[in-house]
Amino acid sequence: MRKIFLYNHGGSENHGCEALVRTVCELFKEEDIILYSEMPQQDLHYGIQQFADVKSAKNAYSKLSPSFIKAYYSLKKKNDYFSIDILPYRKTIKEFRTGDIEISVGGDIYCYDDYPKYIQLHQMIFQRGCKTILLGCSLNEKLFNDPKFVEDMKSYDYISARESLTYELLKKAGIESIGLSPDSAFTLPKEEVQLPSNFIENNTVGINVSPLVMEREQEDNVLLDNYRNLIAYILNKTDYAVALIPHVIWEGNDDRSILNKLYDEFKKSERIAVIQDCNCMQLKGYIAKCRFFVGARTHATIAAYSTEVPTLVVGYSIKSRGIAKDIFGSEENYVIPIEQIKEENKLTQAFIWLQGNENHIKEHLKKRMPQYIKDAEKVKEKIKEFF
């Protein structure tokens, strides 16, 4: 009997990852789905077991096994630590059978320095005779300089790019089994939520900050200073409230580490609130009640776009640029690249532009989003061709 497996899922404390799993499970709700998770306890906490059979992607392995000895040799002689990294997945992969459908839901896993690990992991799965699908991906241009990466892309049965910049790179590289579909998280429903007392419905600026973005700033603390100045501008020059909204709470990569620092500096104001951790649909419920949104996490901004909230993205990657381009026709004014933030008021200036164009942006999103969300659902029919 055919099985559908979701893999390359880091855990639902990244609520973007949670949104991807929830929406993919909804697209294929008539199928039995098994989710192999890096952090299954996180998924159980947020209720993912209601939609998929949640299992651990990793298992213990023996250091006396031939596979470990071979991987250890590669580490010592070739400085190849990726072979060690994939050892915990071997037991899981042995469960896969010819004809099984393997869907990678980690949209940007290839965009980080450890991407060779995912090449090896995919090749192990591919060799089991499975149908492999890379869903909703974004890929940096420099990756295509690596022949091993390009060959890995060619071995997928199907690749769905979530924005046109990645799609064009795949096409240029001669990779044929590709398509273009918006991120499935655009289809995520929102939950109605009880707003905190300091949150003014439809007159609040939602703010999200990512430690990952902070690591890429060009000058020490310049991005934090930009957020400080933006919040000060909002509280002193407008009647808007501010809601600080975390979207990832992974240990060592927790949005709250920065948001709480900002809150402590402005907490005397009666117009600032911190949203507590909750599931991705509830977070979308808060974001939908905002008048504007300024965010660094891609899926936080997707929640804003899809609920027609004018949004400014603090970005560093092809995914934020590509999504904005596909929605608005241009990324200019909608994405502020982290490398351009060298002055402490850059973010405030970009927000003022957003303010001045509020009505135009809202009208555009109102017209654009219904079809864009329908387009995100169309990937279902393409993938079902492999069932």
* Nearest partner of 360 among 308, 284, 306, judged by Cα: 308
Question: So what's the pLDDT on residue 77?
Answer: 67
H or E segment to which residue 311 belongs:
strand 311-315
Give the three-state DSSP class for 118: helix
| E strand map for the chain | 4-9, 33-37, 53-56, 101-104, 131-137, 158-161, 178-180, 204-207, 241-244, 249-250, 253-254, 272-274, 292-295, 311-315, 335-337
Contact 219, 342 (CB under 8 A): yes
Tens place of pLDDT for every residue, the chain, 387 residues? 578 999 999 999 999 999 999 999 999 999 999 999 999 999 999 999 999 999 999 987 767 676 766 765 566 666 765 677 878 898 999 989 999 999 999 889 999 889 999 999 999 999 999 999 999 999 999 999 999 999 999 999 999 999 999 999 999 999 999 999 999 999 999 999 999 999 999 999 999 999 988 877 666 789 999 999 999 999 999 999 999 999 999 999 999 999 999 999 999 999 999 999 999 999 999 999 999 999 999 999 999 999 999 999 998 789 999 999 999 999 999 999 988 899 999 999 999 999 999 999 999 999 999 999 999 999 999 999 988
Give the span between the Cα atoms of 304 and 365, in whole angstroms: 10
Is 4-187+377-384 in CATH node 3.40.50? Answer: yes
Give the span between the Cα atoms of 374 and 306, in whole angstroms: 11
Contact 199, 291 (CB under 8 A): no
Contact 40, 9 (CB under 8 A): no
C-alpha distances (whole Å) from 165 to each of 124, 145, 369, 371 are: 28, 16, 19, 20
Give the span between the Cα atoms of 260 and 207, in whole angstroms: 12
Domains 4-187+377-384 and 204-373 share a fold: yes
In this structure, what token pair is assigned to residue 240?
A: 């808007």
Phi/psi for 71 (5° steps) reads -65, -40
DSSP 203: S
Question: So what's the pLDDT on residue 85?
Answer: 81
Give the span between the Cα atoms of 209 and 226, in whole angstroms: 11
Contact 42, 16 (CB under 8 A): no
CA angle 187, 106, 26 (to 5 degrees): 30
Contact 135, 107 (CB under 8 A): yes
Give the span between the Cα atoms of 214 and 196, in whole angstroms: 27
Amino acid at 341: I
Global pTM? 0.94
Nearby residues of 307 by Cβ (< 8 Å), 6 or more positions away: 190, 284, 287, 288
Kindly provide the b/e burial profile for residues 262-279, where b requires at least 16 CB atoms within 10 angstroms of the residue's own CB.
bbeebeebebbbbbebeb
In this structure, what token pair is assigned to residue 29?
A: 């709700």
Parse the chain into domains and list their residue ranges.
4-187+377-384, 204-373
CATH number of 204-373: 3.40.50.2000
In this structure, what token pair is assigned to residue 164?
A: 């046109």
Contact 217, 223 (CB under 8 A): yes
Question: So what's the pLDDT on residue 332?
Answer: 96
Question: So what's the pLDDT on residue 212?
Answer: 83
